C-alpha cells in the first residue's frame, strides 16, 4: 500500500516536466499538437541542453529557463530569416491560421499556426502573425519558428499576443510573412 501512494507522488513531477517540455509557448520547437497558453509563448522542446552540473535533477526553474532560451534562439533565427524575405515570403502557401476564441484562452488573443512542408527536403519555417484591429491597425506582431519540419509533415503551434490581450479591441490574426529555409 505504501508503494501505491508513493508512485503518484513520484510520477507527478515527471509528468509535469514532460508536459512542460512538450507544452505550449510562443517560440519553440516543433509540435504536432498544441494547447492554448496565455502569454506570448509557443511549443518548445529543448534540445542539446546538456546535463546539469549538480547531483540532483534540474528544477522547474532550470527547465523553464532552458525552454525559454531555446524559444528565444528560434525566434531570433525566424526574425532574421523574415528580414530577408521578399513580399509575403516563399512559404505563404504552406501556412494556415485559425483564431482561437478568447473564452478558451482567458481573454488572450491567440491563433493556431499550422505549417505543412510541401517540399521534398527538411526545412525551417519562419512565420510572422499580426493581430489586426477592425480599422486595420496592427496591434501586435508575433514571430515564430518551426525547426526540422520533414517533407510532407504538418506541425502546429499556438501563438499569443501580449498587447492585443490587454485591450478590449477585437483583433484578427493574419499571416503576414512565411519563409522556408
In this predicted structure, what is the pLDDT of residue 26?
A: 40
In this predicted structure, what is the pLDDT of residue 153?
A: 98
Q: Considering the entire predicted model, what is its pTM?
A: 0.66
CA–CA distance from 120 to each of 23, 39, 42, 94, 177 (Å)? 28, 34, 26, 13, 21
In this predicted structure, what is the pLDDT of residue 176?
A: 96
CA–chain centroid gap for 97, Å, is 13
The answer to whether the beta carbons of residues 110 and 97 sit under 8 Å apart is: no
Strand partners, 155: 115
- Measured CA to CA, the distance from residue 36 to residue 106 in angstroms comes to 10
In this predicted structure, what is the pLDDT of residue 15?
A: 37
17: buried, middle or exposed (CB in 10 Å: 19+, 13-18, 0-12)? Answer: middle
In this predicted structure, what is the pLDDT of residue 29?
A: 40
User: Residue 171: helix, strand or coil by DSSP?
Assistant: strand
Digits of tens for pLDDT over the chain (181 positions)? 444 444 444 444 433 443 333 333 343 443 333 444 333 444 333 333 333 343 445 566 666 666 688 888 998 999 999 999 999 999 999 999 999 998 898 888 999 999 999 999 999 999 999 999 999 999 999 999 999 999 999 999 999 998 866 667 889 999 999 999 9
State the cell numbers at 172.
Answer: 484578427
The answer to whether the beta carbons of residues 160 and 102 sit under 8 Å apart is: no
Amino acid at each position: 500500500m505504501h508503494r501505491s501512494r508513493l508512485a503518484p507522488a513520484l510520477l507527478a513531477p515527471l509528468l509535469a516536466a514532460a508536459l512542460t517540455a512538450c507544452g505550449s509557448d510562443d517560440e519553440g520547437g516543433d509540435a504536432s499538437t498544441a494547447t492554448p497558453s496565455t502569454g506570448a509563448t509557443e511549443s518548445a522542446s529543448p534540445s542539446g541542453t546538456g546535463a546539469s552540473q549538480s547531483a540532483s535533477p534540474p528544477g522547474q526553474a532550470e527547465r523553464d529557463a532552458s525552454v525559454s532560451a531555446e524559444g528565444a534562439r528560434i525566434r531570433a533565427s525566424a526574425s532574421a530569416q523574415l528580414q530577408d524575405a521578399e513580399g509575403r515570403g516563399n512559404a505563404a502557401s504552406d501556412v494556415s491560421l485559425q483564431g482561437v476564441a478568447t473564452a478558451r484562452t482567458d481573454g488572450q488573443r491567440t491563433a493556431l499556426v499550422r505549417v505543412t512542408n510541401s517540399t521534398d527536403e527538411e526545412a525551417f519555417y519562419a512565420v510572422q502573425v499580426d493581430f489586426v484591429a477592425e480599422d486595420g491597425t496592427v496591434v501586435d506582431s508575433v514571430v515564430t519558428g518551426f525547426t526540422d519540419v520533414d517533407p510532407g509533415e504538418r506541425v502546429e503551434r499556438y501563438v499569443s499576443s501580449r498587447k492585443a490581450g490587454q485591450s478590449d479591441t477585437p483583433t484578427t490574426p493574419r499571416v503576414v510573412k512565411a519563409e522556408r529555409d
